[in-house]
Amino acid sequence: MTHMIVAHFQSSNSAAQASVAQLLHAQTGGLLLKPGPLDVNGDDVSNKAHLTESGNVLEDHYCTMMTSPRGGIIDVSPEDRNAMIGFIQARRHVLVELKTIIVSVSPDTASQQAAVETLSAICAAGVAPAGIRILGTDLPTDARFDDAYPAVVECAREAQITVLPEAILPVSTSLAKAQQFKMPIATVLNRVVDFETELTAARLNGAPEKIVHTLAHKVIAQRDLLGTADTFKCAAEALGLPRISQDEWRAECAPTSSRKRARTVALD
């Protein structure tokens, strides 16, 4: 059983990037941690007292992941980027399990700029280029990786980070719908939750129209997710992440009730 900790940095709050950690968790298993607000002082990373406090919180989260047989993924929002990078820089020599850092990017200028800043800061924190991956999200149809994310590709080449053209999530409405209806993405992809069954039961039991209508939307979103599942698997493989079977995922990560989300630890 492979034990590793992965940090995923978002460069925007787009639906695709907000879904990445859940998509990868569906393939890798382990824990999925999303720290609460850490960088309350915005870009003021020189605030040593604040960084110390954030570092203590992140170290506690990191230790939680160390207890998991497979490790897992820590999902870092754009707002928490500085705090997480400060933690890595200060504790790099002891973060042995942190094998891979993934930076997601979208084609828009703001996301690319944020991704470039993140990549530069991660390299400056002492992370070896071999441990850094770039995931392209919202890739337009028929577009090439280099053409969609030129600023990030240039930065990666200067930093000697390998660009993986297969590490992409094409533009799609499925993730936006999943976020809109707060879908438990990993449990849906591993077929722990089935909204088709819930919709049928709601119709037969005469549930209120509002509930049935919401379930119908979730069924559509579920079908969209399952229809693009192979794309998510290919992205995880391109990033070099270990994959487990659906049976293993269900045994290790599925909640005791199918109405609950996957074993995602929400940390304040």
The DSSP secondary structure of 177-238, one letter per residue, reads: HHHHTT--HHHHHTTS--HHHHHHHHHHTT--HHHHHHHHHHHHHHHHHHHTHHHHHHHHHH
* Residue 206 φ/ψ, nearest 5 degrees: 65, 40
Tokens coding 95: 């973060």
CATH 3.40.50.360 fits 4-172+229-266, yes or no: yes
So what's the pLDDT on residue 199?
96
Residue 159 is given by DSSP the state: T
Count CA atoms within 13 Å of residue 83 on its CB side.
Answer: 25
Q: How confident is the model at residue 256 (pLDDT cuts 50, 70, 90)?
A: low
C-alpha distance across the termini of the chain, in Å: 29
Answer yes or no: are the C-beta atoms of 268 and 36 closer than 8 Å.
yes
Residue 260 is given by DSSP the state: S
The tens digit of pLDDT for each residue in 47-96 reads: 555 556 788 889 998 999 999 999 999 999 999 999 999 999 988 889 99
Q: What is the C-alpha separation between 261 and 254, in angstroms, rounded?
A: 8
User: Angle, nearest 10°, between helix axes 109-124 and 81-91?
Assistant: 20
Lowest average pLDDT, out of 15-29, 36-50, 70-84, goes to 36-50
Chain center to CA of 210: 31
The tens digit of pLDDT for each residue in 193-249 reads: 999 999 999 999 999 999 999 999 999 999 999 999 999 999 999 999 999 999 999
Residue 119, Ramachandran bin (φ over 0: left; ψ between -120 and 50: alpha; else beta): alpha
Cα–Cα nearest to 257, from 178, 198, 182, 174: 198
* Residue 267 φ/ψ, nearest 5 degrees: -115, 130
**Which helix H or strand E contains 145, and what residues bound it?**
helix 145-148
* Residue 265 in this model has a pLDDT that exceeds 60: no
**Three-point CA angle 49, 4, 1, nearest 5°:** 150
So what's the pLDDT on residue 48?
56
- Domain borders along the chain are 4-172+229-266
So what's the pLDDT on residue 56?
85
